[in-house]
A and B are shown apart, each in its own frame.
Chain A
Amino acid sequence: MSDKPKVALYWCASCGGCEESVVDLAEDILTVVGAVDIILWPVAMDFKRKSIEEMADGEITVTMINGAIRTSEQEEMAHLLRKKSKIMVAYGSCAHTGGIPSLSNGFEREQILKYVYQEAPTVKNPNNTRPQTEYTENGWTATLPEFRNVCRALDQVIDVDYYIPGCAPNPKLLLDAVLAILKGELPPKGTVLAPDKALCDGCPRLPTKPIDLKIGEFKRPWQAKIDPEVCMLAQGFVCLGPATRSGCGERCIRGNMPCTGCFGPTSKVHDHGAKILSALASVVDANDEPEIQRILAGIPDPVGTFYRYGMAKSLIRRKLSLLSSK
């Protein structure tokens, strides 16, 4: 074995976009691969869990886990990798704040299973068969992971040292993080490895953002043509820039789409959704209640819009009227 630092990359409840962002390092990936030994990366290379189990505690220099934690298997792998790693990085929105998968915290576990295995239009399941966590035949027992009641961010299950935000993260942030780890130049534990400023701060459209912003009508991107030069909010599009951390390179804005908040909040904010709600609602251009309500009806799903990537890390965390949440 070489004495290069060992790096593990693992995925949990995720789409694969984070893995893609590693590949998006392009030729920089050679810098990374030259400096470290990748000892686990299920999406790209063949490794066995057993070889991880056989490692000494703390033998892996850094593990980057992407994806939310929904099943017992994801939870188990997170614990195992935590034990074997010196540094644990939550990589991407899902591991950082719950991501898209944690929007499922608006639904009961049973609702999800019922829809997926019985009710979805593409499902034909006359016997209502559901996967079981254990099945025995001919004396052999096969097992499947347990689907938990709640979807969680990584730090709600294990101790996390650093966070790299984004859906998916900007490859530059990954490269900077890896280089910082190799040099041992690390910020205090718990730091999000991205700038601590709001997206608006570095937005190329900032000069067109009115000082006295007023919104008389909220629009969704499919409802109107988006001017490629002018501030999204000035045009009435719900843009989460004022309350979202920068560091993404304003990729969506440059692609002429409003920010949807994947980088999560800055370090001063406890609840991302509440903060953007505050920013957007306070500039509604009306003073009487019916008119305020009419304008705000342009945001039909506040939870889904403001916590798109972070319901698991919201202060409320989950829809409270669900059966098992009583």
Chain B
Amino acid sequence: MSEQWDPKILAIFCNWCTYTAADLAGVSRLKYEPNVRVVRVMCSGRIDPQFVLTAFASGADGVLIGGCHPGDCHYVEGNYKTLRRVTLLKRMLQDFGIEPDRFRLEWISASEGDRVQKVVNDMVAKVRALGPLNLPGRIVEWDKEVEHMQSEIDAREGVAHV
């Protein structure tokens, strides 16, 4: 990568708490790092672990999940499901060799705009320190070893058929 790298972080926030908090941070003119791309879901319990893996596989350097504090879920227990999934997913990502700081779960209520600012800035700093994950680039690199076989066979067959 020739151009200056800066972290890309996918943030998935729940509609009722963390997304509203991010809105509050906006109207309160709280500045935070522009490296997060926020996606809103109705509940953090909607977040399929596939979303997280897809983000990494698509080039994200980090994934941040935001939901309501335990006991405050708009759908009563969606965030508990998130907590259970994230607990196991964190361990699995570590086993895949993805650094723990690249994946984070935070409970941020609708009134905690300042916490959005703090969490985002902190995560961006940590991911910046880790450097690029660049999974798509790595996959291209891994597959270079299987690029040539087709042309080798074609070349040999071409000779054989003359």
* A positions within 8 Å CB-CB of B: 53, 69, 72, 75-76, 79-80, 83, 106, 148-150, 152, 156-157, 269-271, 273-275, 277-278, 280-282, 284, 286-287, 289, 292-293, 296, 299, 301-303, 306, 314-322, 325-326
Q: Which residues of A contact B84 (CB under 8 A)?
A: 281-282, 284, 286, 292, 296
A/B interface sample: 13 pairs, CB < 8 A: A53-B157, A72-B149, A83-B153, A83-B157, A269-B50, A271-B53, A271-B54, A274-B49, A275-B49, A315-B50, A316-B135, A321-B97, A322-B97
Q: For A278, give the chain B residue with the smallest CB separation.
A: B49
| Bound Cα distance from A83 to B149, whole angstroms | 12
Given contacts A316-B53, A319-B97, A321-B97, contact A79 B85 (CB under 8 A): no
Which residue of the partner chain, among B50, B70, B77, B157, contacts A271 with CB atoms under 8 Å? B50
Contact in complex: A277, B92 (CB < 8 Å): yes
Q: Name the residue of chain B whose CB is nearest to the CB of A305.
A: B92
CA distance A78 to B93 in the complex (A): 32
Whether the Cβ atoms of B153 and A293 lie closer than 8 Å is no
The interface residues of chain B lying within 8 Å CB-to-CB of A299 are: 88
Residues in chain B within 8 A of chain A (CB atoms): 48-50, 52-54, 56-57, 70, 77, 80-81, 83-85, 87-89, 91-92, 95-98, 133, 135, 138-139, 141-143, 145-146, 149-150, 152-153, 157, 160
Min distance, Cβ B129 to any Cβ of chain A, angstroms: 16
Write the chain B residue with the least CB distance to A303.
B95
B142, A149: Cβ atoms closer than 8 Å: yes
When A and B form their complex, what is the total count of cross-chain residue pairs whose Cβ atoms lie within 8 Å?
120
Closest chain A residue to B142 by CB distance? Answer: A150
Tell me whether B138 and A320 are in contact (CB under 8 A). yes
Q: Which residue of A lies closest to B87 (CB)?
A: A292
Partner of A152, one of B50, B91, B146: B146
- List the 9 closest pairs (A to B, CB-CB), nearest first: A321-B97, A320-B97, A274-B49, A302-B92, A315-B53, A315-B57, A281-B88, A274-B50, A282-B81
CA–CA, A302 to B89, complex, Å?
Answer: 9
Smallest CB–CB gap between A294 and chain B, Å?
A: 10
CB distance from A242 to the nearest CB of B (A): 13
Residues of B within 8 A of A314 (CB): 53
* Residue from B52, B57, B88 having most chain A Cβ neighbours under 10 A: B88
Check if B83 sits within 8 Å of A79, measured CB to CB: no
Nearest-neighbour CB distance to chain A for B53, whole angstroms, equals 4
Residues of B within 8 A of A106 (CB): 95
Report how far A156 CA is from B146 CA in the complex, Å: 9
Q: Which residues of A contact B81 (CB under 8 A)?
A: 282
Complex: chain A residue closest to B160, CB-CB: A53
User: Is B80 a contact partner of A287 (Cβ separation < 8 A)?
Assistant: yes
Cα–Cα, bound, A318→B142 (Å): 10
Q: Is the CB of A150 within 8 A of B135?
A: no
Contact in complex: B92, A273 (CB < 8 Å):
yes
Residue of A nearest to B139 (CB): A317
B95-A157 in contact (CB<8A) = no
Which single member of B83, B85, B143 contacts A277 (CB below 8 Å)? Answer: B85
Chain A nearest CB, measured from B85 CB (Å)? 4
- Say whether B88 contacts A277, CB under 8 Å: yes
Nearest chain A CB to B147 CB, angstrom units? 10
Q: How far is A217 from B77 in the complex, measured between Cα atoms in Å?
A: 20
User: Which of chain A's residues have a CB closer than 8 A to the CB of B141?
Assistant: 325
- How far apart sit A125 and B150, CA to CA, in the bound complex (Å)? 36
A317→B87 CA distance, assembly (Å): 21
Question: How near does chain B come to A58, taking the closest CB pair, in angstroms?
Answer: 14
**From B133, B138, B160, residue with most partner A Cβ within 10 Å:** B138
- Give min CB distance, B132 to chain A, whole Å: 11
